[in-house]
Chain A
Amino acid sequence: MRESLLSVDDLKVRFKTEDGYVSTVNGVSFDVEKGETLAIVGESGSGKSVTSLALMGILPANGEVYDGDLRFEDKDLRNLTKKQYRQLRGNEIAMIFQEPMTALNPVFTIGYQLRETLMLHYKLSKDQAQKKGIEMLETVGIPDAEKVMGRFPHQLSGGMRQRVMIAMALSCNPKLLIADEPTTALDVTIQAQILTLLRNLKEKSNTSIMIITHDLGVVAELADRVIVMYAGEVVEQAPINELFERPLHPYTQGLMASIPKIHDVVDELYSIEGTVPNPAAMPTGCKFHPRCPLGDIECTKVHPALEFVSETHSKRCIKVKG
Chain B
Amino acid sequence: MELTKVMEPLAEGGKVKTQASYKKLGKRLLRSKTGMIGLVIVAVVVLMAIFAPLLAQHDPAKTDVINRLLPPFWMEGGNTDFLLGTDNLGRDILSRIIFGSRISLLIGISAVLLAGAIGMALGLIAGYYGKVWDFIIMRTVDSLLAIPNILFMLIILAVLGPSLITLILVLGGTSWVVYARMVRSETLSIKERDYVRSAKAIGAKDFRIIIKYILPNVLSSFIVIATLNVATTIILEASLSFLGLGIQPPDVSWGLMLSDGREYIATSWWVAAFPGIAITVTVLGVIFLGDWLRDVLDPKIKD
Contact = CB atoms under 8 A, between A and B. Distances in A.
Direct contact of A and B (CB under 8 A): yes
Interface of A: 18-19, 273-275, 277-278, 281, 283, 289-293, 295-297, 299-300
B7 interface: yes
A281 B12 contact: no
Nearest to A276: B11
B27 A290 contact: no
Contacts of B1: 293
A283 B7 contact: yes
Contacts of B24: 18-19
A290 B13 contact: no
Contacts of B4: 273-274, 290-292, 295
A290 B24 CA distance: 26
Contact of A289 (B7, B12, B13, B27): B7
A289 B3 contact: yes
Majority SS at the chain B contact face: helix
Nearest to B2: A296
Given A277-B11, A281-B10, A290 B31 contact: no
Contact of A278 (B13, B27, B28): B13
A290 B28 contact: no
A289 B5 CA distance: 11
A300 B11 CA distance: 14
B118 to A, nearest CB: 37
B4 to A, nearest CB: 6
A291 B10 CA distance: 12
A296 B3 contact: yes
B177 to A, nearest CB: 30
Nearest to A280: B20
Contacts of A275: 11-12
8 A-B pairs with least C-beta separation: A290-B7, A290-B11, A274-B11, A277-B11, A295-B3, A290-B4, A18-B28, A274-B8
A297 B3 contact: yes
A275 B4 CA distance: 12
B10 A283 contact: yes
A118 B24 CA distance: 46
Interface of B: 1, 3-4, 7-8, 10-13, 24, 27-28, 31
B25 to A, nearest CB: 10
Given A281-B10, A300-B3, 5 more contacts: A283-B7, A289-B7, A291-B11, A292-B4, A297-B3
A283 to B, nearest CB: 6
A194 to B, nearest CB: 29
Contacts of B12: 274-275
A292 B7 CA distance: 11
Most buried by A among B4, B10, B24, B27: B4
Nearest to A291: B4
A14 B7 CA distance: 25
A18 B31 contact: yes
A100 B13 CA distance: 34
A277 B12 CA distance: 8
24 contacts: A18-B24, A18-B27, A18-B28, A19-B24, A273-B4, A274-B4, A274-B8, A274-B11, A274-B12, A278-B13, A281-B10, A283-B11, A290-B3, A290-B4, A290-B7, A290-B8, A290-B10, A291-B4, A292-B4, A295-B3, A295-B4, A297-B3, A299-B3, A300-B3
Contacts of B28: 18
B37 to A, nearest CB: 19
Nearest to B24: A18
A295 B24 CA distance: 33
A274 B13 CA distance: 11
B22 to A, nearest CB: 13
A164 B10 CA distance: 45
Nearest to B32: A18
A275 B24 CA distance: 23
A280 to B, nearest CB: 9
A289 B2 CA distance: 11
A293 B31 CA distance: 42
Name the residue in A281, A283, A293, A299 with the highest tally of chain B Cβ atoms < 10 Å from its Cβ. Answer: A281
Contacts of A283: 7, 10-11
Nearest to A294: B1
B84 to A, nearest CB: 40
Contacts of A273: 4
Nearest to B1: A293
Contacts of A289: 3, 7
Contacts of A277: 11
A211 B1 CA distance: 34
A265 B132 CA distance: 53
Residue in B12, B24, B27 with the greatest tally of chain A CB atoms within 10 Å: B12
A18 B8 CA distance: 25
Contacts of B3: 289-290, 295-297, 299-300
A291 B12 CA distance: 11
A318 to B, nearest CB: 14
A281 B28 CA distance: 19
